[in-house]
Structures are given as structure tokens and as C-alpha cells.
Structure 1
Amino acid sequence: MGRVVGFELNSQEPEKAAHFYSEVFGWGVGEPNWDYWPVVTGKDEKPGINGGIGKGPNDYPHGIRVQIEVDSIDEAIAKAKAHGAMVVRDKMEFADFYLAYLVDPVGLGIGLIQSKESK
């Protein structure tokens, strides 16, 4: 079962967005890396998810995407494509995880993430 493990707020003014969410909701905003500011939305004891604010890329300049954790990103991409999704960013490798971005059949942007520990 794919579980939502984070979110990504995309903006062409990520610094302004980070300031807004920090001031209005008290989110803890970390130092940026690759135009991406990690955010903590609350204490781990309470339900909720953390995420980040990033400078939106050309294929997704602004909006919100959820990150769905999967056991196998390759299998999830294949299954999503077979059910009408479009891949906008194929599997990318980072130090601890793989990430891909898709658009579902109704136009919603999602991220797929696989921890390198799960494979």
C-alpha cells in the first residue's frame, strides 16, 4: 500500500512561501538545498506529515504534490502508466532514495519515493 509520507509546495518565490508558512502556521523551515526548503509541520507525537517548499520546475511551476512511498518505484511507475498516468520526471537517484514525478489521469501531480533501504 502506498502511503503519503510528505508533501511538496512549489512556488516561483519559495523564500516568500517559506516565510509565510513559518509565520502563519509555525512550521520549522530548514536550510535550502537545491532550491528546496525542508519543513517540519509539528511534533512527531501528533498525527501529520512533513514536507518541503521548493522552487517549482518548468513542468510544475506552482502547486502542491503529495509524496507517496512505494516499495518499488519501477513497478509503481509501470503500473501508474498502465492506468493512464504520465511521467513528467523519470526516476531520479538521491543519496537515500529514488524519486519520480507523475501526473495522474485526472491531471493531479504526485511524487513517488522509494527508500534505498526498502529494495
Structure 2
Amino acid sequence: MGKVMGFELNSEHPERLITFYSTVFGWQVGDSRWGYSPVQTGSEENRGIDGGIAKGPEEFPHGTRIQVQVDSIDSTLEEAKRHGAQNISEKMEFEEFYLAYFTDPEGLGIGLIEKK
């Protein structure tokens, strides 16, 4: 079962979102890495769903995406495409995980995470 691991807020002006969410909700925003600033929405005692704020890519410049952990990005993308999804990005490799994006049949952006 795909488990929601986090969220990503995309904007052409991510610094505005960082200021807004850290001020309004008290979210802790970390340093930007790869154009992505990690966000912690809770504390150790009262955990929330964490995510990030990023400069949106050209094909998805603004909006909210959830990130779902899967066993295999490749097989999940194949299944998603069979049911009307469209690839947004190829599988990318990071230190501890792989990441890819697609849009569902209604155009909603979804991120896929495969842990190494």
C-alpha cells in the first residue's frame, strides 16, 4: 500500500511561501537544497506530516503535491499510466531515495518515493 510520506508546495516564488507558512503556522523551514526547502510541521512530541517548499518546475510551476512511498517507482508509473496518468519527470536519484512525478487523470500532481 502506498503511504503518504509528505507534501510539496510549489511556487514560482518559494521565498514568499516560506515566509507565509513559517509565520502563520510556525512551520520550521530548513535550508534549501536542490531548490527544495524541507518543512517540519510538528514537534517531537506532536508530530505532523512533514514536507517541503520548492520552486516549481516549468511543467508544474505552482500547487500542492503529496508524496507517496512505493516499493517500485517503475512498476507504479507503469500502472498509473495504464489508468490515465502522465509522467512529469523520470526517476531521479538522491542519497537515500529515488523520486519521480506524475499527474493523475485529473491533472493532480503526485510524487513517488522509493527508498534505497
After TM superposition, the score normalised by the length of structure 2 is: 0.95
Match of residue 110 from structure 1: 110
Identify if the C-alpha distance between structure 1 residues 86 and 41 changes in structure 2 by more than 3 Å, giving closer, same or farther. Answer: same
- Aligned structure 1 segments of 4 or more residues deviating by more than 6 angstroms: none
> Which whole-Å CA distance do the structure 2 matches of 1:23 and 1:46 have between them?
19
Match of residue 83 from structure 1: 83
Per the TM alignment, residue 19 of structure 1 is displaced from its structure 2 partner at its CA by 0.9
Identify if the C-alpha distance between structure 1 residues 31 and 47 changes in structure 2 by more than 3 Å, giving closer, same or farther. Answer: closer
**Residue identity matched to 1:72:** S
Per the TM alignment, residue 106 of structure 1 is displaced from its structure 2 partner at its CA by 1.1
Q: What is the root-mean-square deviation in Å for CA atoms of aligned residues? A: 1.0
Note if 1:19 corresponds to 2:24: no
Note if 1:4 corresponds to 2:16: no
What pairs up with 1:28-43 in 2 under 5 angstroms?
28-43=28-43
Match of residue 60 from structure 1: 60
- Deviation readout 1:36-68 (Å, 9 max, x if unpaired): 110000024435310000000101000000000
- Deviation readout 1:66-95 (Å, 9 max, x if unpaired): 000001111111111111100010111111
> Which whole-Å CA distance do the structure 2 matches of 1:32 and 1:112 have between them?
20
**Residue identity matched to 1:69:** Q
> Which whole-Å CA distance do the structure 2 matches of 1:91 and 1:44 have between them?
31
Match of residue 92 from structure 1: 92
Per the TM alignment, residue 16 of structure 1 is displaced from its structure 2 partner at its CA by 1.3
C-alpha contact 2:84 2:104 (8 A) present in aligned 1: yes
After TM superposition, the score normalised by the length of structure 1 is: 0.93
Q: What percentage of aligned pairs have identical amino acids?
A: 59
